Amino acid sequence: MTPARPGPRDPLGSAERPRILVLRALGLGDLLTAVPALRALRTAHPQHELVLAAPRRLTEAAAATGVVDRLLPAAAPARNVPQAIDWTGPPPAVAVDLHGNGPASHLPLQALRPARIFAYAHPATPRIAGPEWREDEHERSRWCRLLTWYGIPADPDDLRIAAPSEPSPAPGAVVVHPGADAGARRWPPERFAAVAHALHRAGHRVVVTAGADEGPLARQVAAQAGLPPSAVLGGASDVPFGELAALVARARAVIVGDTGLAHLASALGTPSVVLFGPVAPRLWGPPRVPRHRVLWHPDHLDRARPGDAHGEQPDGRLLRITAAEVLTAVAGLPEPVRVPSRPVAAPVP
């Protein structure tokens, strides 16, 4: 799959095929939680071209879902909605808002004059007759409920993607990922290091992954854990998606906070221990099956969003999780069950 290249002879693909535009201009975890909804759209409209409006860096990940035909680059800072979508050619047959709720995401889609719009209802855009938005709802279920309201059955548990066929850079390793987009969701590096050190001493191969600009954090964790510098993957830039997916797909386990790599472990069926703080796992957590262990210490009110998910300091609930708890959770994980491999997606030109 390649990014869309609009032109007079190729307006986002063949004009002979009706097109569905899906707006989900967010991150990797957001894309993966939308897989059940995207798969439902593909099943309901097998002859349509499914175009995903999302950041260009997700092109390979979108291809890995097996349901997206084309990625149309679209992004805005700080998880905001792109003000306009660079669409040419005939209007979409259907435009689907999987980005948010309200005029910020509705209006860019309405501007394309699609035959139909699937979106949640909002008083500021009364022409859209959709279901009511619910704050306390898991992200996968939210978008499946939207499509079901429009007559498209969708299963929030249909989230798995196939593993890539390329080899893992560290087969059988325990993957430790200390980073997250916001400080509120970053467990302290010295605790990640304590976990990595204990696992390394117990005979496990441990690798520390890092996204762009997370190199210093990953190297700190590796050094404190007594791991060699070669144990760090990524940092100066993101680990290429194919390599990252191969690593996770063939890992013994993944230890991670509430961030995109946790959703990749869920999508590939890799055992994981996921640490939550400012947001309840019932909104963004992995499936409730034995291969995924969630650690969370809520306040007595057990609110869905008790903290600021985008705050700068580690959330107090996250800090209640100890290294000993994480090690106990890892020890209780079942052995991985491997999913069939898929061909490597074509690289972004």
Question: How high is the pLDDT of residue 208?
Answer: 98
Predicted model pTM:
0.92
Mean pLDDT of 131-139: 96
pLDDT score of 7 more than 60 = no
Q: What is the pLDDT of residues 268-293, one digit of tens each?
A: 999 999 999 999 999 999 999 999 99
Q: Is 80 helix (H, G, I), strand (E, B) or coil?
A: coil
Q: What is the pLDDT of residues 23-36, one digit of tens each?
A: 999 999 999 999 99
Bridge partners, residue 273, by sequence: 255, 293
Residue 263 to residue 259: CA distance in whole angstroms = 7
pLDDT score of 345 more than 70 = no
pLDDT score of 12 more than 80 = no
pLDDT score of 14 more than 60 = no
Lowest mean pLDDT of 142-151, 171-180, 334-343, name the range.
334-343
Rounded to the nearest angstrom, the gap between the alpha carbon of residue 319 and the centroid of all alpha carbons in its chain is 24
Question: How high is the pLDDT of residue 6?
Answer: 35
Residue 266 to residue 253: CA distance in whole angstroms = 11
Residue 197 to residue 202: CA distance in whole angstroms = 9
**At 123, which amino acid appears?**
P
Mean pLDDT of 211-231: 97
Residue 49 to residue 51: CA distance in whole angstroms = 6
pLDDT score of 189 more than 60 = yes
Question: How high is the pLDDT of residue 1?
Answer: 57
Smallest Cα–Cα separation from 207: which of 254, 255, 175? 175
Q: What is the pLDDT of residues 22-75, one digit of tens each?
A: 999 999 999 999 999 999 999 999 999 999 999 999 999 999 999 999 999 999
- The pLDDT mean for the chain works out to 92
